[in-house]
Amino acid sequence: MREQMEFVQNFPCFSIMLCMFAGIISSALKGKAAKMVNMAVLCINILMSAAVLLFAAYAGEFYVYVMGKFPAPWGNELRVGVLEAGMALFFCVIMLLSLMGGRHKLAQEVEAGKHGLYYILTDLMLSSLLALIYTNDLFTAYVFVEINTISACGLIMIRQNGRTIEAAVRYMIMSLLGSGLFLIGLCMLYDMTGHLLMSNIRQEVADIYAASSAGGSFHVPLLVTIALISVGLAIKSALFPFHAWLPDAYGYSTVSSAAILSSLVSKGYIFLLFKIIYRVIGFDAFRSSKIIDVLFVFGLMGMVFGSLSAIKENDVRRMIAFSSIAQIGYIYMGIGLGTQVGMVASVFHVLSHAATKSLLFIAAIGLTDVSGGSRKLIELTGSGYRNKIAGATFLVGALSMVGVPMFSGFISKLLFAQAAVQNDVKMLPTLIVLGISTVLNAIYFMKTAIRIYTPVEDTGYPTVTWRQNKTYAAALVCFMALNVVLGVFSQPIVDLIGLGLDMFA
């Protein structure tokens, strides 16, 4: 049964193991050495994921990597296709850039003895994200969801003040509610199907689904299971009514943590949901359940209310955090459309939002630094002149979020609109809310962009050039380049996503 394996095919397993061992080794290292290990691991992971991506794109089909001795129905396995490899590559790049961009702030934000700890947490976070991306086993996914939650909580509270601890507690509580629902859902799924591997469950679910449309008895349990799993993951990724923990958690943690949390952690859960929709439940069964409409409505509400809260906000970090809620709403709206095109749009928006939101957090810190550390919008007046590169980057991020052509946000809005047209019932609400949300986005992002470029008389704040902090400037330039690449060369990426989703099922 086992064919000759290419060496490249081992890389997904290697990358997960590498991150884990890096975390373990880092616990015995000093801050500086832990940083080097972390950088090395990230770079190696980028190379390995790129190799896997090339391999999968070239082979044109997914492959299964058996973990350990036992084959399919019993053992544990990884499953790798274009989308998984691409997502892993993208997550590693974003994480590297976020850490680079926030490095100079870390010394102020985190107590001196705890820098090593920070890098342990990021290593663990990366390993759990990669495992969530690659695993083909539901219970393994659950365990790594919890590891992800714990490391995310650590990343929030490593900056010790009352706000962050309270935010971490609230984050933990919501996450635990979500993972509780996810756990009971997957136990019920195991109970109905007798399998834990996603592909095997899929066959059984297809049988149940066929029987239930003929009047079989497992229709209600299947529906309940789908509801529990989707709501559990929606809570964890901060879909609209479950978002209360988010602004504090993103607004007061260290800047790298905020960038990583907003762009990667919530996306890991969303990616898991994609995987469950396609590989466990089956797209048809998911579409015919009512759950998809619930996700759709919550997505739409999130798009509007997230933006409204962002408009009212006076603190730039919290404003960006509230904007995350709106963007998560977009992603769930794409899922809710129930078409392949909608899913492609959602996956693209995962990439686009991850690239843009981390950029905004990193750029905002450069602007607040030249405004006396204050995060109030009024203090930021003219800061775009005091730190030119951060100002330019913030402008790129804002334009991308609003949906100006050339940037990634435009492409995802275009894809969403195209997807909406294919669904007769949901077309009108989608297009209307998309329009409203774009206007609202424009209000608060353009307001901020204009404010940072309003010339002021001498404020006494220092002016910073890119030469003073080259790592930060390099990270910002890379972010801008990434954003423009996503916006300009979108067609090959969209094709790859489509190919990857076909391999997914």
Partner 1 sequence: MGNNLFTNYGEAVAMVLFVIGFGNLLLQSNLIKKIIGLNIMDTAVYLFLAEKGYIRGRVAPIVVNGVQSVEAYINPVPSGLVLTGIVVSVSVSALMLSLTIRLYQRYHTLDLDEISLRLKKEGL
Applying CB under 8 A, the residues found at the interface with partner 1 are 139, 142-143, 146, 149-150, 153, 157, 161-163, 165-166, 168-170, 172-173, 176-177, 180-181, 183-184, 187, 190-191, 196, 252
Closest separation in Å from C-beta 244 to partner 1: 10
Closest separation in Å from C-beta 500 to partner 1: 30
- Nearest to 504, CA basis, from 343, 321, 377: 343
Closest separation in Å from C-beta 20 to partner 1: 15
Closest separation in Å from C-beta 318 to partner 1: 11
For 79, phi and psi rounded to 5 degrees?
Answer: -130, 130
Closest separation in Å from C-beta 133 to partner 1: 20
User: Which residue, 181 or 337, has its beta carbon nearer to partner 1?
Assistant: 181
User: Which residue, 113 or 162, has its beta carbon nearer to partner 1?
Assistant: 162
Closest separation in Å from C-beta 194 to partner 1: 9
* Sequence-ordered alpha helix ranges (H) in 370-387: 383-386
Specify the residue for token string 């060496």: 7
Identify the burial level of 148 via C-beta atoms within 10 angstroms of its C-beta, where 0-12 means exposed, 13-18 middle and 19 or more buried: buried
User: Which residue, 150 or 301, has its beta carbon nearer to partner 1?
Assistant: 150
How many CA atoms, within 13 angstroms, populate the side-chain half-sphere of residue 353?
29
- Nearest to 452, CA basis, from 389, 402, 406: 389
User: Which residue, 196 or 233, has its beta carbon nearer to partner 1?
Assistant: 196
User: Which residue, 98 or 151, has its beta carbon nearer to partner 1?
Assistant: 151
Closest separation in Å from C-beta 394 to partner 1: 23
User: Which residue, 165 or 406, has its beta carbon nearer to partner 1?
Assistant: 165
**60 torsion bin: left (phi>0), alpha (psi -120 to 50), beta (else):** left
User: Which residue, 87 or 280, has its beta carbon nearer to partner 1?
Assistant: 280
- Nearest to 51, CA basis, from 111, 107, 10, 21: 10
What is the rounded distance in angstroms from the CA atom of residue 400 to the CA atom of residue 80?
31
Specify the residue for token string 């992971």: 45
Q: Which residues contact 90 (CB under 8 A, 6 or more apart)?
A: 351, 354
User: Which residue, 49 or 140, has its beta carbon nearer to partner 1?
Assistant: 140
3-state DSSP of 303-363: HHHHHHHHHHCCEHHHHHHHHHHHHHHHHHHHHHHCCHHHHHHHHHHHHHHHHHHHHHHHH
User: Which residue, 45 or 151, has its beta carbon nearer to partner 1?
Assistant: 151
Radius of gyration of the chain (CA): 22
Q: Which residues pair with 467 in a beta bridge?
A: none
Three-state SS at 394? helix
Cβ neighbour number for residue 317 with a 10 Å cutoff: 21
Closest separation in Å from C-beta 409 to partner 1: 31
User: Which residue, 166 or 204, has its beta carbon nearer to partner 1?
Assistant: 166
User: Which residue, 166 or 502, has its beta carbon nearer to partner 1?
Assistant: 166
What is the rounded distance in angstroms from the CA atom of residue 367 to the CA atom of residue 395?
11
Closest separation in Å from C-beta 243 to partner 1: 15
Three-state SS at 63? strand
What is the rounded distance in angstroms from the CA atom of residue 299 to the CA atom of residue 185?
22
User: Which residue, 204 or 502, has its beta carbon nearer to partner 1?
Assistant: 204
Closest separation in Å from C-beta 198 to partner 1: 16
Specify the residue for token string 């058996």: 66
For residues 443, 444, 447, 452, the Cα torsion angle rounded to the nearest 10 degrees is -150
Closest separation in Å from C-beta 174 to partner 1: 9
Q: Which residues contact 454 (CB under 8 A, 6 or more apart)?
A: 381, 382
Closest separation in Å from C-beta 262 to partner 1: 20
Q: Are 62 and 224 in contact (CB under 8 A)?
A: no
Structure tokens at 316: 């730039």
